[in-house]
A and B are shown apart, each in its own frame.
Chain A
Amino acid sequence: MSLSRSMKKLAAGVVASTAIAYSGAVMAADTIKVGVLHSLSGTMAISESTLKDTVLMMIEEQNKKGGVMGKQLEPVVVDPASNWPLFAEKTRELITQEGVDVIFGCWTSVSRKSVLPVVEELNGLLFYPVQYEGEESSKNVFYTGAAPNQQAIPAVNYLLNDLGVERFVLAGTDYVYPRTTNKILEAYLKSKGVADEDIMINYTPFGHSDWQSIVSEIKAFGSQGKKTAVVSTINGDANVPFYKELGNQGVSAEDIPVVAFSVGEEELSGIDTGPLVGHLAAWNYFQSVYNDANNAFIDQWHAYTGDDKRVTNDPMEATYIGFNMWVKAVEKAKSTDTDKVADAMIGIETPNLTGGTAVMNENHHLSKPVLIGEIQDDGQFAVVWETDGLVKGDAWSDYLPGSKDLISDWTDPVNCGNYNTKTKSCGGASAE
């Protein structure tokens, strides 16, 4: 950033901040404002800043095509700095002070939970592009990442059916996504006849870096004569030392494959993948998928970042789908009004990057294909298995006692995020 530009920005900021005290919602007539709520500093910047760039790239491209409804899109980027209360505050700022019509943002579950009451109160619109634990469906949020049934369950099916795995290590970082996913998987595995003693569950703190003891435990667990696999919901940063330790202790993919739900191309770009070849990941998208749409997207990304080594990943595809759906919905509704756009969103179809079509369902989750890839030595994944058709995202898991009777349907006559199919009423599992 040049000095004069930053000075201008600073000056603008001072003006804007003085305006904060007096302004109501600022309405700009000639542009449509798009909020970008991704951390640019702090621990999550590593993952989220890529998504900020993705949104900006999509906006730039859309503006070249003439914008939306003849109006140019104007991005409003803020930095919630990986600070969860700040996510809520910035959301309020985006909606009430900046008057944005839609927000693309969040990565972690806690940031989404922090933002949720604010978008609901102010009737905003949030597109959430990351795989998550499910158990949620808000009128104001569209979930374009995978729900557990679009990632975890197909992956475990692959392990059971194609690899003949009989023992499972469920290893995760201690937070809500791994906890919920592992609860679901545990119930699912038991329903498939896997015994208690063949499931080992292990939680580690964020950024865990000393994996010696745990890898050695996994090795011992896996040497009991039954084919063993690790299902990993280990979060971002902790993966590098985990995989390094696996490689060094000689756990190869042929012995004990690790299937991960949080390791994509971007995470691998920080690892020497030589010793990891053959370990697995389950996603709805891989950069290595070969088709024209994906090739074009990758080229565009390389051109936008000016770096032809930058990788693409699943949350980027989810952002891409979410953005295109929003554009389509706005044009269909001929308005940026939240309620109208939210209504128009349901049923919208846009091409995904794996050669198919993404559909937005009535529960605000997408229908997506599920792909399983093996890590290659160039840091990419080779697809070794995929679902025949699309898998519809499930807001409420069928394998948790608290939510097995719940569905989400934002169309009439149900119009409810937590509809109890047993008691035929809206308001959760205990609703009467």
Chain B
Amino acid sequence: MGYSFSRILAAMLIALLASTSWAEESLQDMTAPPQESEQADAAGIAPPTIQTILDRLTSRSFDEKEAAIRQLAGQDSPRVIPLLNALMERELIHNRKDDTITLGSKSDGQWQLLDPVTLEPLGQVESRAARPVVINNRLRTVINNQLALFALNSERTEERARAAEQLIGNNDPEMLAALKALRETEDSPRVLEQIDTALNIAALNSDDLTHRLNAIQALSGNLHPETKNTLNQRLHATDSDTEKQALEKAIARIEARIETFQTADTLFFGLSMGSVLLLAAIGLAITFGVMGVINMAHGELIMLGAYTTFVVQQALPNSHEWSLLIAIPAAFLVSAIIGILIERFVIRFLYGRPLETLLATFGVSLILQQAVRVIFSPLNRTVVTPDWMSGALQINPVFSLTYNRLYIIFFALAVFLALLTLLKKTRLGLQVRAVSQNRTTARALGIRSERVNALTFGLGSGIAGVAGVALAQLTNVGPNLGQSYIIDSFMVVVFGGVGNLWGTLTAAFGLGIANKLLEPMAGAVLAKIIVLIFIILFIQRKPRGLFPQRGRAAEE
């Protein structure tokens, strides 16, 4: 689903690019039957078979390959579309031994070969003896255009819409005729919208002023990038004042809309950055905010969560789509257990001396980092993004929300709410709050503060692990993962006010959005520096953060 949206955008941009650089010649080439076969027919030579065309793909020259692809596309055979798709998917194999092209797939380090036309198995060859036919971006565009042409007559609405969209900005009369013909029979509004945009853009070059003015009117506010480009071109070319005014109005309207959506974009980026900060900081809000432990190993607990995701994916190689759902509890457990061990063996001895917990946990963080380096190597590990998290939710051509970030925003909020409920509504939560407010009284009332401490630290650590699962979808899974988040996390907790979860939430989103608002003006680094200086000055004004804890518990 997500992937298809990104495809649409891709196709759109292809159309745009194709229209400006070389589309005119090449698209004509596409529609005209390949010249080679015509000549072959004329000369009385037997027409080329699909296999002989395919064998031209053994060439190292991309020009030769392009010619072969166009020739293949001109063949009247049900195998053409599957073969073009196979070429895109790297399933068309060049067998180095006998220099032929076959279909193939890799299993156990061997190529299983199939005949490209009859699909008969042709045995297998060793891994290095064959390799997929290399295509480059130019060929990929050619193939995509060919496939789009076929798709214009497809039964499926989505394919027709995508094909029509790819033809936006194309001025070839034959193409336009095809679009006009399709318009008569088409009943899907989605496809019609694309066709109308394509036809209106084409009409901008019409000789008739009324035609042009109507097209401009229809295109006003249209967000397709090709629209704005063509309108701008027209603005430079026209000598009619009426047209000029109409054009300026239309462009201004488009620009105003783009600006609105860009602001929305920035806000979304800010929310997304805020959600990452929230995830990274929220575990720390427990260990640091509630327990007063300056846990420098917090980042490494996040890192362990990310590595757990990797291990779960390795263990379940065929179920990347849902293995994340297993990774979340697994990461929670792994980090929580390590957290409890840290609490039992190190932090237990240091309660009431917060600055010393900093030193000890810094030592722990070094050990954890190096342990990961020894176990998993210092190299980054690949965490696969499931399809449902790839791509973007395309609202319109200039505004889209990337799925991974969208899900992470919701995920961060869910974790936050779960934690809040846990602390406010459960018995454990009550005990945690009691111990953090007044340890002695809590103990006097029969709370086993040791156990509560261990569980609280485990909880904070476990949440760090869960954050790791989310971060693995955004960034590198490597031994340094934790280091890059630890300082930001502390800033968020301190800025929000130690011991206040709502403060952490506000601080995370506030800092995220502030950062993203500053970024276009100041650049990424300066934005971050400005935010840091702001935090420093803010702490001077309000030494206990946005939402200071009140009462005796706050006084050390």
Q: Are A278 and B385 in contact (CB under 8 A)?
A: no
* 8 Å CB contact of B524 from A204, A244, A253: A204
Q: Are A250 and B5 in contact (CB under 8 A)?
A: yes
**Interface residues of chain A: helix, strand, loop or mixed (majority):** loop
Q: Are B402 and A248 in contact (CB under 8 A)?
A: yes
Given contacts A45-B479, A241-B476, A384-B136, contact A227 B21 (CB under 8 A): yes
The residue on A at minimum CB distance from B403 is A248
Q: Are B266 and A213 in contact (CB under 8 A)?
A: yes
Minimum CB–CB distance for A201 against chain B, Å? 11
Minimum CB–CB distance for B493 against chain A, Å? 19
Minimum CB–CB distance for B171 against chain A, Å? 14
Q: Are A248 and B391 in contact (CB under 8 A)?
A: yes
Q: Are B269 and A207 in contact (CB under 8 A)?
A: no
Q: A17 near B: Cβ within 8 Å?
A: no
Minimum CB–CB distance for B101 against chain A, Å? 16
Bound complex: CA A410 to CA B147 (Å) = 58
Q: Which residues of B contact A210 (CB under 8 A)?
A: 269, 272-273, 276, 524
Q: Are A278 and B137 in contact (CB under 8 A)?
A: yes
The residue on B at minimum CB distance from A222 is B13
* 8 Å CB contact of B392 from A43, A207, A248, A374: A248
Q: Which residues of A contact B5 (CB under 8 A)?
A: 250
Minimum CB–CB distance for A96 against chain B, Å? 29
Q: A271 near B: Cβ within 8 Å?
A: yes
Q: Which residues of B, 390-444, contact A by the 8 Å Cβ criterion?
A: 390-392, 394, 400, 402-405
Bound complex: CA A241 to CA B380 (Å) = 12
Q: Which residues of A contact B16 (CB under 8 A)?
A: 223, 225, 255
Q: Which residues of A, 230-256, contact B by the 8 Å Cβ criterion?
A: 237, 240-241, 244-245, 247-256
Bound complex: CA A163 to CA B5 (Å) = 25
Q: Of the listed stretches A317-325, A336-344, A375-383, name the one at the interface; the rest are far from the partner chain.
A: A375-383
* 8 Å CB contact of A271 from B96, B373, B382, B479: B382
Q: B478 near A: Cβ within 8 Å?
A: yes
Interface string of B262-284 (1 = CB under 8 A from A): 00011011001100100000000
Q: Are A247 and B140 in contact (CB under 8 A)?
A: no
Q: A275 near B: Cβ within 8 Å?
A: yes
Q: Are B265 and A245 in contact (CB under 8 A)?
A: no
The residue on B at minimum CB distance from A271 is B382
Q: Are B382 and A237 in contact (CB under 8 A)?
A: no
Q: A172 near B: Cβ within 8 Å?
A: no
Q: Which residues of A contact B273 (CB under 8 A)?
A: 210, 212
Bound complex: CA A209 to CA B90 (Å) = 31
Interface string of B523-541 (1 = CB under 8 A from A): 1110010000000000000
Q: A387 near B: Cβ within 8 Å?
A: no
Q: Are B17 and A255 in contact (CB under 8 A)?
A: yes
The residue on A at minimum CB distance from B512 is A210
Q: A191 near B: Cβ within 8 Å?
A: no
Q: Which residues of A contact B404 (CB under 8 A)?
A: 244, 248
Interface residue count on the A side (C-beta < 8 Å): 63
Q: Which residues of A, 214-231, contact B by the 8 Å Cβ criterion?
A: 214, 216-217, 222-227
Q: Which residues of B contact A270 (CB under 8 A)?
A: 379-382, 476-478
Question: Which interface residue of B134, B377, B476 has the most chain A CB atoms within 10 A?
Answer: B476
Interface residue count on the B side (C-beta < 8 Å): 72
Q: Are A255 and B14 in contact (CB under 8 A)?
A: yes
The residue on A at minimum CB distance from B386 is A272
Bound complex: CA A376 to CA B96 (Å) = 19
* 8 Å CB contact of B380 from A46, A216, A217, A226: A46
Q: Which residues of B contact A84 (CB under 8 A)?
A: none
Q: Which residues of A contact B345 (CB under 8 A)?
A: none
The residue on A at minimum CB distance from B276 is A210
Q: Which residues of A contact B377 (CB under 8 A)?
A: 49
Q: Are B128 and A290 in contact (CB under 8 A)?
A: yes
Given contacts A241-B474, A245-B402, A255-B14, contact A278 B136 (CB under 8 A): yes
The residue on B at minimum CB distance from A210 is B273
Q: Which residues of A, 301-352, contact B by the 8 Å Cβ criterion?
A: none
Q: Are A208 and B6 in contact (CB under 8 A)?
A: no
Q: Are B134 and A247 in contact (CB under 8 A)?
A: no
The residue on A at minimum CB distance from B269 is A212
Q: B229 near A: Cβ within 8 Å?
A: yes
Bound complex: CA A37 to CA B16 (Å) = 50
The residue on B at minimum CB distance from A311 is B379
Minimum CB–CB distance for B540 against chain A, Å? 26
Q: Which residues of A contact B378 (CB under 8 A)?
A: 40-41, 45-46, 49
Given contacts A163-B137, A248-B392, contact A224 B14 (CB under 8 A): no
Q: Which residues of A contact B138 (CB under 8 A)?
A: 162-163
* 8 Å CB contact of A266 from B17, B379, B405, B525: B379
Minimum CB–CB distance for B321 against chain A, Å? 13
Q: Are B381 and A214 in contact (CB under 8 A)?
A: no
Q: Are A214 and B524 in contact (CB under 8 A)?
A: yes
* 8 Å CB contact of B10 from A204, A252, A269, A377: A252
Nearest 7 CB-CB pairs, A to B?
A270-B380, A255-B13, A250-B9, A250-B6, A225-B229, A223-B225, A248-B402
A residues adjacent to B (C-beta < 8 A): 40-41, 43, 45-46, 49-50, 162-164, 174, 202-205, 207-210, 212-214, 216-217, 222-227, 237, 240-241, 244-245, 247-257, 266-267, 269-272, 275, 278, 288, 290, 295, 374, 376-377, 382-384
B residues adjacent to A (C-beta < 8 A): 5-7, 9-10, 13-14, 16-17, 20-22, 62, 90, 96, 128, 131-132, 134, 136-138, 140-141, 144, 225-226, 229, 232-233, 265-266, 268-269, 272-273, 276, 370, 373, 377-385, 390-392, 394, 400, 402-405, 474-480, 484, 516, 519-520, 523-525, 528
Can you offer 10 A-B residue contacts whose CB atoms are under 8 A? A46-B478, A202-B523, A213-B269, A217-B520, A247-B391, A254-B17, A269-B379, A270-B380, A278-B140, A374-B134
